[in-house]
């Protein structure tokens, strides 16, 4: 019998707080009723601070990939040139979407595990000698646990050419990072429900500035369900163009209440404290970190076990004996790295469980005692935070 409470530490989906679960299970209401209008009005507004947006945030009933696709189809015309920063599996997702619709797609490859080097990227844009319509990047590249320097990138891009639209995939970090569309020169910022926003999967979010909003109505790329103009029009009527996931909209409002209680700044600080503590702990366990400190995401941490056998042992035993689920690598990093998600409703003491379980597993596997080593390092960082 397994007597541990299951602990879901994948970089999404993430544990759903009871308050959100409760809200999502309330009796159904008609989506064309005043009941739903009240829910929607609150939800569109509630997400503004989380996305650092002056405009109300659009909510689509579909997964994160749909809003990646929507962000592209509503910003660039089919014949226009677009640039994609590819630094992992989700950069590749943007690339695949682009190749389905566009002929003039330019890829800036970044080594997996590294952050974009901004001067090199600007040089790349110059070398294209093309009129670029939009640049697409991840904020957190979930597959490598890199947090790109989006604020600096936005500024550099604006200084290079202020007409370029900057579109950011924040699926795996919005809700855990300090973002501001104006300050960071982001035109469109998308995210999904099942990560730091702590909802079950099923909603996509689109934040945008006024310039992007105006652009959506000028673009001619064919789209139907993903035509953001439809969502913008409905938003003014506290509604949605198609049947929404009413339950998850209620979940958005329950999420906002939780964030308001804790305070968004505190939520963000908690994520960074856990990141820093976990990195110390992994160092103490002689586990190599994939990403350097400067670009380490506050929502997911990737590490490199010493061998494939050690990797399998950690992942399988964590699950079998301790009921802890973590994630493997994606693409060519599959079988090379493990990833611990630490976003949403995660306290420093939840992560302490995985740290202490890792001490036991590595003591067994390497036949060398790690007991107490990592948790001491971990608590040294956490004590300054709590």
Q: Which residues bind ligand PLP (CB under 6 A)?
A: 12, 63-65, 68, 90, 93, 138, 142, 169, 171-172, 192
Helix (H, G, I), strand (E, B) or coil at 207: strand
Residue 140, judged by CB atoms within 10 A of its CB (0-12, 13-18, 19+), counts as: buried
Residue closer to ligand PLP, measured from CB, 55 or 138: 138
Least gap, CB of 63 to ligand PLP (angstroms):
3
- The alpha carbon of 248 is separated from its chain's Cα centroid by a whole number of angstroms, namely 18
Least gap, CB of 90 to ligand PLP (angstroms):
4
Q: Which of 52, 242, 11, 233 is nearest to 140 (CA)?
A: 11
Residue closer to ligand PLP, measured from CB, 95 or 373: 95
Helix (H) or strand (E) holding 362: helix 348-366
Q: Which of 136, 137, 274 is nearest to 196 (CA)?
A: 274
Residue closer to ligand PLP, measured from CB, 19 or 63: 63
- Evaluate whether 297 touches 275 at the Cβ level (below 8 Å): yes
- Evaluate whether 194 touches 10 at the Cβ level (below 8 Å): no
Residue closer to ligand PLP, measured from CB, 68 or 352: 68
Q: Which of 210, 193, 213, 199 is nearest to 66 (CA)?
A: 193
Least gap, CB of 57 to ligand PLP (angstroms):
16
Residue closer to ligand PLP, measured from CB, 244 or 348: 244
Instruction: Tokens for 74, please give them.
Output: 């509503």
Least gap, CB of 94 to ligand PLP (angstroms):
8
Least gap, CB of 324 to ligand PLP (angstroms):
19
The answer to whether 339 is a known ligand-binding residue is yes
Integer Cα distance of 239 and 141 in angstroms? 32
- Evaluate whether 59 touches 44 at the Cβ level (below 8 Å): yes
Shortest-Cβ-distance residue relative to ligand PLP? 64
Least gap, CB of 169 to ligand PLP (angstroms):
5
- Evaluate whether 200 touches 248 at the Cβ level (below 8 Å): yes
Q: Which of 70, 258, 83, 52 is nearest to 165 (CA)?
A: 83
Residue closer to ligand PLP, measured from CB, 168 or 314: 168
> ω before 13 within 30° of 0 (cis)?
yes
Least gap, CB of 386 to ligand PLP (angstroms):
29
Q: Which of 106, 118, 110 is nearest to 82 (CA)?
A: 106
Helix (H) or strand (E) holding 60: strand 58-61
Least gap, CB of 145 to ligand PLP (angstroms):
11
Q: Cβ of 197: how many Cβ atoms within 10 Å?
A: 26
Residue closer to ligand PLP, measured from CB, 280 or 297: 297
- Give the start-end residues of each E strand in 188-336: 188-192, 203-208, 288-289, 300-304, 324-325, 327-328
Length of the chain: 386
Residue closer to ligand PLP, measured from CB, 98 or 379: 98
Residues annotated within a binding site for substrate: 339
Residues annotated within a binding site: 339
């Amino acid at each position: 019998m397994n007597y541990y409470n299951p602990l879901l530490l994948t970089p999404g989906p993430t544990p759903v707080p009871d308050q959100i679960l409760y809200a999502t299970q309330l009796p159904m209401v008609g989506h064309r009723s005043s009941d739903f209008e009240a829910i929607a009005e609150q939800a569109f507004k509630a997400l503004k601070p989380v996305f650092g947006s002056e405009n109300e945030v659009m909510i689509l009933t579909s997964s994160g990939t749909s809003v990646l696709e929507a962000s592209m189809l509503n910003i660039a015309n089919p014949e226009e040139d677009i640039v994609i920063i590819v630094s992992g599996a989700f950069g590749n997702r943007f690339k695949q979407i682009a190749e389905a619709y566009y002929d003039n797609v330019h890829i800036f490859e970044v080594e997996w595990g590294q952050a974009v080097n901004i001067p090199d990227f600007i040089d790349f844009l110059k070398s294209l000698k093309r009129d670029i319509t939009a640049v697409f990047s991840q904020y957190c590249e979930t597959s490598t646990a890199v947090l790109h320097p989006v604020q600096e990138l936005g500024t550099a891009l604006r200084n290079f050419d202020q007409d370029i639209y900057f579109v950011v995939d924040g699926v795996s970090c919005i809700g855990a990072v300090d973002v501001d569309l104006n300050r960071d020169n982001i035109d469109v910022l998308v995210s999904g429900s099942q990560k730091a926003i702590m909802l079950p999967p099923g909603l996509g979010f689109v934040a945008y500035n006024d310039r992007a909003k105006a652009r959506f109505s000028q673009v001619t790329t064919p789209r139907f369900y993903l035509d953001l103009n439809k969502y913008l029009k409905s938003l003014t009527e506290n509604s949605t163009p198609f049947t929404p996931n009413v339950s998850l909209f209620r979940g958005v409002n329950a999420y906002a209440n939780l964030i308001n209680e804790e305070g968004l700044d505190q939520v963000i600080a908690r994520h960074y404290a856990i990141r820093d503590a976990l990195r110390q702990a992994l160092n103490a366990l002689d586990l190599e970190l994939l990403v350097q400190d400067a670009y380490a995401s506050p929502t997911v941490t990737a590490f490199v076990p010493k061998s494939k056998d050690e990797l399998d042992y950690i992942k399988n035993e964590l699950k079998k004996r301790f009921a802890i689920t973590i994630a493997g690598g994606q693409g060519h990093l599959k079988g090379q790295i493990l990833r611990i998600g630490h976003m949403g409703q995660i306290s420093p003491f939840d992560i302490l469980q995985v740290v202490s379980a890792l001490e036991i597993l590595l003591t067994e596997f390497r036949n060398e005692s790690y007991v107490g080593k990592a948790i001491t390092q971990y608590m040294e960082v956490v004590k300054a935070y709590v």
